């Protein structure tokens, strides 16, 4: 496994890390098995978040006795000092540790990042926690290129996390700037929110960029660990066939697709927006008509219940036209004849 220094933190991290969001689907025993396999493969970087429900707690159980083998990162959507102080203490308790290597400001917009840095903002307590040894380093995660650009100019930012994958390379200029400024770059959404099916190609594509410090695909099984670590350990350049596959994925997905980050939730009337788009995507890309229709029919609230309030679109970090996409998804799925 190749290791890189995480910006100016002094931490040497494996170029492949664990994204902790999918751990919500398993249990503590399953999490422990994944951690043991990662340890055997030389993977030493773990990312989770306060927003990932039980992920921190499952990792806390799984890391008992092996905490020192991993560089541990989490993040909070707190913007004020009081909120961040509370979240840091919860993270420490959940993760069953007395220090967290990297604590990140989770997905702020430009105004929220200003709030974080203002008097009484979250940055105050992050600095205090760093001084006290509760956290080692401070980073920012973003979905917006504008926030990425803003974060690059902030002296306290040691790492930046941003989506980067086969179909989302709009941040390459800023990723290059991270390298120049000695800021660690963490590639999130390697599979574009599950839209990219070929995990090996996804990992190889990302790590072929020398400016990427670490990529963090979500892994919820030992089989996924094996696939991703094998891809990360393959030093050969992308083949012509792989480049053709990547180009086909770009053509197929375009830019208007749901990454299933669920920031749009909750829907005012209870539509499971990301699930609707998942079923519509499987119908469109794989012609799984029966499978998609059956699962859509089981939804307690279908997409045509949308009242077009627009609340979901205001929360979507990708500015997707969710209301129109829901209408199309409903039309396509309802048109399936069983």
For 53-82, write each residue's pLDDT tens digit: 899 999 999 999 999 999 999 999 999 999
> What's the rounded Cα separation, in Å, for the pair 142 and 77?
11
CB atoms within 10 A of CB 206: 25
Reference 211, options 183, 235, 237, 234; nearest CA is 183
When pLDDT is averaged across residues 152-160 and rounded to a whole number, the result is 98
Cβ(281)–Cβ(236) below 8 Å: no
CA 114 to chain centre: 23
Q: Where are the domains of the chain?
A: 3-239, 273-334
**Paired residues of 163 in beta bridges:** 188
Q: Which residues contact 248 (CB under 8 A, 6 or more apart)?
A: none
When pLDDT is averaged across residues 114-119 and rounded to a whole number, the result is 97
Token digits of residue 246: 């990547």
When pLDDT is averaged across residues 260-271 and rounded to a whole number, the result is 90
Task: Extract long-range pairs of 310-315: CB within 8 Å, 24+ residues apart.
Answer: 311/267, 311/268, 312/264, 312/265, 312/267, 312/273, 313/264, 315/263, 315/264, 315/265
Q: Model pTM greater than 0.85?
A: no
For 162-216, write each residue's pLDDT tens digit: 999 998 888 899 999 999 999 999 999 898 877 788 999 999 999 999 999 999 9
Strands 214-215 and 18-19: unpaired
* CATH numeric code, 3-239: 3.20.20.100
> What's the rounded Cα separation, in Å, for the pair 167 and 256?
11
When pLDDT is averaged across residues 302-323 and rounded to a whole number, the result is 94
Residue 137 gets the label, from left (phi > 0), alpha (psi -120 to 50) or beta, of beta
> What's the rounded Cα separation, in Å, for the pair 197 and 202?
8
Confidence of residue 17 (pLDDT cuts 50, 70, 90): very high
Reference 212, options 250, 167, 165; nearest CA is 165
When pLDDT is averaged across residues 261-288 and rounded to a whole number, the result is 84
Of the candidate ranges 38-52, 124-138, 179-193, 271-285, the one whose mean pLDDT is the lowest: 271-285
What pLDDT, on a 0 to 100 scale, did the predictor assign at position 261? 79
Confidence of residue 141 (pLDDT cuts 50, 70, 90): very high
Token digits of residue 106: 């989770």
What pLDDT, on a 0 to 100 scale, did the predictor assign at position 172? 93
DSSP state of 26: S
Strands 12-14 and 3-5: antiparallel
> What's the rounded Cα separation, in Å, for the pair 31 and 20?
10
**Paired residues of 73 in beta bridges:** 47, 102
Cβ(186)–Cβ(11) below 8 Å: no
For 214-256, write each residue's pLDDT tens digit: 999 999 899 999 999 999 999 999 999 999 999 998 888 777 7
What pLDDT, on a 0 to 100 scale, did the predictor assign at position 338? 65
Question: DSSP strand E in the chain: where?
Answer: 3-5, 12-14, 18-19, 45-47, 71-76, 100-105, 135-141, 159-163, 184-188, 214-215
Exposed, middle or buried, 90 (CB in 10 Å: 0-12/13-18/19+)?
middle
| Whether residue 285 has pLDDT greater than 70 | no
């Amino acid at each position: 496994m190749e290791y890189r220094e995480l910006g100016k933190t002094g931490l040497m991290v494996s170029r492949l890390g664990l994204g902790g969001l999918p751990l919500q689907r398993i249990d503590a025993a399953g999490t422990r098995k994944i951690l043991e396999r990662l340890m055997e493969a030389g993977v030493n970087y773990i990312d989770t978040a306060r927003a990932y429900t039980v992920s921190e707690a499952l990792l806390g159980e799984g890391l008992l006795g092996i905490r020192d083998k991993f560089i541990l990162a989490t993040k909070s959507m707190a913007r004020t000092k009081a909120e961040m102080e509370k979240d840091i203490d919860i993270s420490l308790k959940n993760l069953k540790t007395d220090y967290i290597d990297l604590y990140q400001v989770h997905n702020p917009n430009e105004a929220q990042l200003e709030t974080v840095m203002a008097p009484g903002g979250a940055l105050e307590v992050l600095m205090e926690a760093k001084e006290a040894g509760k956290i080692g380093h401070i980073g920012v995660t973003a979905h917006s290129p504008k926030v990425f650009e803003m974060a690059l100019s902030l002296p306290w930012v040691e790492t930046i996390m941003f989506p980067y994958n086969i179909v989302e390379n709009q941040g390459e200029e800023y990723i290059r700037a991270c390298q120049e400024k000695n800021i660690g770059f963490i590639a999130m959404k390697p599979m574009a929110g599950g839209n990219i099916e070929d995990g090996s190609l996804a990992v190889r594509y990302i790590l072929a960029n020398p400016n990427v410090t670490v990529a963090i695909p979500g892994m919820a099984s030992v089989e996924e660990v094996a696939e991703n670590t094998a891809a990360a350990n393959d030093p050969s350049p992308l083949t012509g066939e792989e480049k053709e596959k990547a180009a086909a994925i770009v053509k197929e997905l375009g830019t208007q697709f749901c990454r299933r980050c669920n920031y749009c939730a909750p829907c005012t009337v209870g539509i499971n927006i990301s699930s609707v788009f998942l079923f519509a995507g499987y119908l469109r890309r794989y012609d799984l008509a029966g499978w998609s229709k059956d699962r859509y029919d089981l939804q307690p609230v279908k997409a045509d219940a949308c009242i077009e309030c627009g609340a979901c679109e205001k929360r979507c970090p990708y500015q997707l036209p969710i209301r129109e996409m829901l209408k199309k998804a409903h039309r396509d799925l309802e048109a399936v004849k069983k």
